[in-house]
Amino acid sequence: MDCSGGKDIEANPTGSEKMELPVLTQPGLGVTTTTVTTITQTGGDWSTGLLDVCGDTSTCLMGAFVPCCLDLSLAHQYGECMCLPLLPGSTFAMRVGIRERFKIRGSVCEDWTTVYCCYPLALCQMIREMKKRLKTQTYTVSTALESS
């Protein structure tokens, strides 16, 4: 190193004062650009009413005959452990979480009343809401390779 600015300098045998060092790394084959677009539908009321069970027949039948299985499916869609429905109050907690995640109007009191007085209907409504809201968030990631 010399005192002229901290650059590495080698003597050139032809008599020049300075010679730059060669490039030690080669440029890559290209730059990968990834674009992810996520749109979240938020705000407003529940997209379907508590009694709108005819729109999704499979959900309606599961809610009527095996609501515990529907609760497991809801926990999975919500991103929680499948064991969550085994805990007391978990369906109520998921309903409050869904309402807050998607900024749905309502209150904790309304959520409690809905879950504990109309459990199968509340599960069906929550499943329909997750299906509708999450469908608008699923997008394909596109990757473009640019040559250098």
Structural domain count of the chain: 1
Q: What long-range pairs does 20-27 form, CB within 8 A, spacing at least 24?
A: 27/148
Q: Is residue 23 in some structural domain?
A: no
Beta-strand pair 142-147/30-35? antiparallel
Q: Is residue 38 in some structural domain?
A: no
pTM: 0.64
Alpha carbons 85 and 68: distance in angstroms, whole number: 8
Q: Is residue 15 in some structural domain?
A: no
How far, in Å, are 32, 78, 144 from residue 43 at the CA level? 36, 18, 34
Q: Is residue 94 in some structural domain?
A: yes
Tens of pLDDT along 98-147?
Answer: 999 989 999 999 999 999 999 999 999 999 998 888 775 545 555 555 55
Alpha carbons 20 and 33: distance in angstroms, whole number: 33
Overall average pLDDT of the 68-91 stretch = 91
Q: Is residue 4 in some structural domain?
A: no
